[in-house]
C-alpha cells in the first residue's frame, strides 16, 4: 500500500505563504517519483487556492474539519459537500485540538466522518490519548473507546483513514518511540477488523512531532501507513524529507 504523508497546516499561513508552499511542493511532486501520496490540509479559506495550485501535480488537498450536517443554519461551519466541490478529496475530523477547543465528542466526530463519506471525501479520523491518560496506563482503553465511537459503521480500509496522534507528542517535540507507536497501530488495525468492517488496506497514520530527522524510524514501525505532520509541514524541505523517508 502506498504511504500517505499529510501536512496539517493548522491555523497557519497567509495567502502568500500558502501560494509559495503549495507551488514549491507541487513542483517537487511533479519533478520526481514521490515515495508516498501527498496531501495538504490548509485553513478553509485557502482550500480553493491550494487546490488550484496542486491540480495536475498529483498532490491531494483536504480540509481540517467539516460539519455533521450536509447544509443548513450553522453559521461559521463548513459543509463537506462544498469542500469536495472545491477540488478536495480528504477532511481531517476529530483532531485533538478540535476535541479540546470545541468539545467534540466521539459521536460528533463520527457524524462528521459520516458527512465526509456522504460527500465522497475520505475522512482522516484522529484518535489519541492525553498525557494524563498515558500516565494512568489508559492508552489502549482510550484508543478503543475513540475508535469504536468515532469511526462510522460504513467506514472501510478503502474509504477512510485513521490517524493516531498521542496528544502529549503534538507540537511538544516529544516523539513517541517505536515501543509507543507500534502496539497502538496494531490495536487500531485489530479493532477495525473486529468491527466487521472491511479493514484490508486501512491506512493508519502516525502524528506528533514527525520531522525529517525522525520520519524513517516512525514510518518503518509495524502498522504505520504514513504520517500526519503539523509543524514540519510548514517547511517544504523538511516536509519533503518525510515524504522521501517512506520505506
Ligand atoms: P506536530 O507535527 O506539530 O506535532 O503536529 C501534529 C499534528 O497535530 C498533526 O495533525
What is the position in ligand 1's atom list of the atom closest to the CA of 170? 4
Give distance in angstroms: CA of 169 to centre of ligand 1: 8
CA distances from 204 to 73, 77, 142, 225 (A): 34, 27, 16, 5
- The answer to whether 165 is a known catalytic residue is yes
Give distance in angstroms: CA of 119 to centre of ligand 1: 26
Maximum CA pair distance of the chain? 48
- The answer to whether 97 is a known catalytic residue is no
Position 199 pLDDT exceeds 70:
no
Question: Taken in order 53, 59, 65, 68, is the CA torsion positive or negative?
Answer: positive
Q: Ligand 1 pocket, 231 CB below 6 A?
A: yes
Q: Note the pLDDT of residue 29.
A: 96
User: Confidence band (pLDDT; 50, 70, 90) for 164?
Assistant: very high
Distance CA 37, CA 35 (A): 7
In this structure, what DSSP letter does residue 71 have? S
Instruction: Give the active site residue among 97, 104, 129, 165.
Output: 165
Show the domain range for 233.
4-244
pTM over 0.95: yes
Predicted confidence (pLDDT) per residue in 122-140, tens digit: 999 999 999 999 999 999 9
Number of domains composing the chain: 1
Predicted confidence (pLDDT) per residue in 70-119, tens digit: 999 999 999 999 999 999 999 999 999 999 999 999 999 999 999 999 99
Give distance in angstroms: CA of 207 to centre of ligand 1: 6
Q: Note the pLDDT of residue 52.
A: 98
User: Confidence band (pLDDT; 50, 70, 90) for 217?
Assistant: very high
Q: Note the pLDDT of residue 198.
A: 59
What is the position in ligand 1's atom list of the atom closest to the CA of 169? 4
Task: Please report, for the domain that includes residue 52, its CATH number.
Answer: 3.20.20.70
- Classify residue 1 as exposed, middle or buried by CB count within 10 Å of its CB (0-12, 13-18, 19+): exposed
Amino acid at each position: 500500500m502506498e504511504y500517505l504523508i499529510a501536512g496539517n497546516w493548522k491555523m497557519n499561513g497567509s495567502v502568500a505563504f500558502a501560494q509559495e508552499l503549495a507551488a514549491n511542493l507541487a513542483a517537487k511532486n511533479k519533478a520526481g517519483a514521490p515515495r508516498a501520496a501527498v496531501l495538504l490540509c490548509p485553513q478553509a479559506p485557502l482550500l480553493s487556492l491550494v487546490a488550484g495550485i496542486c491540480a495536475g501535480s498529483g498532490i491531494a488537498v483536504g480540509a481540517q474539519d467539516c460539519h455533521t450536517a450536509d447544509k443548513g443554519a450553522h453559521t461559521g461551519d463548513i459543509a463537506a459537500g462544498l469542500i469536495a466541490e472545491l477540488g478536495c478529496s480528504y477532511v481531517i475530523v476529530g483532531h485533538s485540538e478540535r476535541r479540546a477547543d470545541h468539545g467534540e465528542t466521539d459521536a460528533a466526530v463520527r457524524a462528521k466522518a459520516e458527512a465526509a463519506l456522504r460527500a465522497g471525501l475520505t475522512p482522516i479520523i484522529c484518535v489519541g490519548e492525553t498525557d494524563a491518560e498515558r500516565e494512568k496506563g489508559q492508552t489502549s482503553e482510550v484508543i478503543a473507546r475513540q475508535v469504536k465511537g468515532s469511526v462510522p459503521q460504513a467506514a472501510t480500509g478503502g474509504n477512510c483513514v485513521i490517524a493516531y496522534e498521542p496528544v502529549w507528542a503534538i507540537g511538544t517535540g516529544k516523539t513517541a518511540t517505536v515501543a509507543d507507536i507500534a502496539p497502538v497501530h496494531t490495536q487500531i488495525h485489530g479493532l477495525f477488523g473486529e468491527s466487521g468492517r472491511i479493514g484490508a488496506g486501512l491506512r493508519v497514520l502516525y502524528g506528533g512531532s514527525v520531522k525529517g530527522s525522525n520520519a524513517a524510524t516512525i514510518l518503518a514501525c509495524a502498522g504505520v501507513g504514513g504520517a500526519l505532520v503539523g509543524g514540519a509541514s510548514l517547511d517544504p524541505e523538511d516536509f519533503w524529507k518525510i515524504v522521501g523517508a517512506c520505506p
